[in-house]
Structure 1
């Protein structure tokens, strides 16, 4: 039996799922999106998977003609895949659903109910591991305090803090006003394979958009050790760091936003230089190791990392290549 799509509920949301080698989780993601009566479009963009992701996604169709599965010709990362879906969407609102995540029933309706006049409305993530099930939401979950987040607060909310589980605001998956994105020529930066969500949300806020954050309303984020977001290459970190530099060039930024961007830039540069230092040590590259000392703050960060990792003894292995 096909799930009922209620005629009295406006179908105003397009769900975009960028998928790569997700055959074990994509069906659950698709079914959870199709179960939301407010969802009028579900776009699965297969980013040149080597497994059966696209066919498994098609098999999750509910017969309501809302699901479209497309295959990329070249692997371009999640930003390129989402941009392809974004260009094809017609709904008022668009939102991202990662291919290994899913919605709890009623999530979209609860978000729309508190969307008001903002351009992005999001809820806190419900994080589970692969073998965990989320606690069921009550039939009428409390939205909790609705927080209006400006650009400075958003950037500050993406600065990693030592000893704390990663909860950066860039991980949220808001409903976004598609008309506002189109009017301001906003899309995902295809040069980013890390932080592409963060960068787009920052651009929306810098363009005058508003972001409202509610408590957990039903987005389940599955954390896994082999997730793409956990595998950062040096090039990925460099591109993300430089995207902060680009954001700093935007007109009309407040001093608070610029200060937050500078702190975020520093945090990314610290992680970048740590990765570069590891590679320099492995290749006995003294000059490369010295070049990682881009600032006093970075030097201090690297010293702490070396001490914690027990790498101080390995620095002695550095030598000038013969």
Structure 2
């Protein structure tokens, strides 16, 4: 790949009802000299997302805004952006997040990868404007992560706040995606990133992670990524089953994907039980549990864990919002172990 192609990046922004935030997201992407294209897909918004996005154009001809008349989901939006873009490198930016200056330059300084991601800083919306000054300077400490390590890093545990590494936003080589026929699974509206990266790793992708932090995830109470439907959990564990059926995996990789599948399926069974209780009454919910004995441990264990949640302290630093404390929280555990000069 030529030096010019190495810095030819398309930034993809899938947006729904993001008129209040998308200007900052687009501006941060266009501020990166390595961004040859910024493709915004308005995914059936009912507000002025597309109009506001077009108004953020900096006149360089790099911004392309496309509007879907109906909502099709982030996977479909990103796939469409890939299909109309030309750049050999692809990156995703959520419509309510932003890049810190120099993010792409830092990522592109590394070699030997098909996917490369940096750390994420979780920022409270009220402090987003001053967040850059709070981010420490860290040595990159690059390392490759394999399929087993990636899937294990996406299994959350009680008492530990969310830290799934499927939330990372890597740059991706188009050639690898095309060679293996990989795109986002449009049936998924939860875990579509996890699914794509897992399938890529199963195909032998080199996924490098550096500890420098160039991505700001803005935490809001009404964030779309913070909510999902019960059916979304079902489709995600079914996606794990598809990977198991379609991929030639090592025994260890197969075991960890089965663990993730059970983890998501247990969450689904608990949610489905609670939906039945709320919508059809307690008797119908109990009838479901008794006729599906395989779901009972997840239902009973989940209810007990929820009842005792307030008595447990989180066991690790959490990627949560600043919350007025002034402390920046990062996605990757152990991120602050090494600071650069």
TM-score (norm 1): 0.88
Using the alignment, how far apart are the partners of 1:39 and 1:193 within structure 2?
A: 27
1:265 to 258, 261, 268: 261
Paired residue for 1:118? 113
Paired residue for 1:21? 17
SS in 2 for 1:298: helix
- Paired residues, what number? 302
Indicate whether 1:199 and 2:181 are aligned. no
Using the alignment, how far apart are the partners of 2:293 and 2:193 within structure 1?
A: 29
Please state which structure has a larger fraction of its residues in helix: 2
Using the alignment, how far apart are the partners of 2:212 and 2:114 within structure 1?
A: 19
Gapped regions of structure 1 (runs ≥ 5): 1-6, 311-322
1:40/1:305 Cα in 2 relative to 1: closer, same or farther (>3 Å)?
A: same
1:103/1:287 Cα in 2 relative to 1: closer, same or farther (>3 Å)?
A: same
Indicate whether 1:99 and 2:95 are aligned. yes
SS in 2 for 1:236: helix
Indicate whether 1:294 and 2:274 are aligned. no
Deviation readout 1:17-58 (Å, 9 max, x if unpaired): 000000000000000000000000000000010000001111
Identify which of structures 1 and 2 has the higher relative contact order when contacts are C-alpha pairs closer than 8 Å and 6+ apart. Answer: 2
For residues 49-198 of structure 1, what are the structure 2 equivalents within 5 Å? Answer: 49-114=45-110, 116-133=111-128, 134-136=131-133, 141-198=137-194
1:242/1:10 Cα in 2 relative to 1: closer, same or farther (>3 Å)?
A: closer
Using the alignment, how far apart are the partners of 1:306 and 1:250 within structure 2?
A: 35
Shift of 1:233: 0.9
Which runs of 4 or more aligned residues in structure 1 lie more than 3 Å from their structure 2 counterparts after TM superposition? Answer: 7-11, 141-144, 305-310
SS in 2 for 1:131: helix
Using the alignment, how far apart are the partners of 2:6 and 2:177 within structure 1?
A: 21
Using the alignment, how far apart are the partners of 2:55 and 2:302 within structure 1?
A: 49
Moved more, 43-52 or 286-295: 286-295
Calculate the aligned-residue CA RMSD, in Å. Answer: 2.2
Using the alignment, how far apart are the partners of 1:16 and 1:294 within structure 2?
A: 41
Gapped regions of structure 2 (runs ≥ 5): 311-341
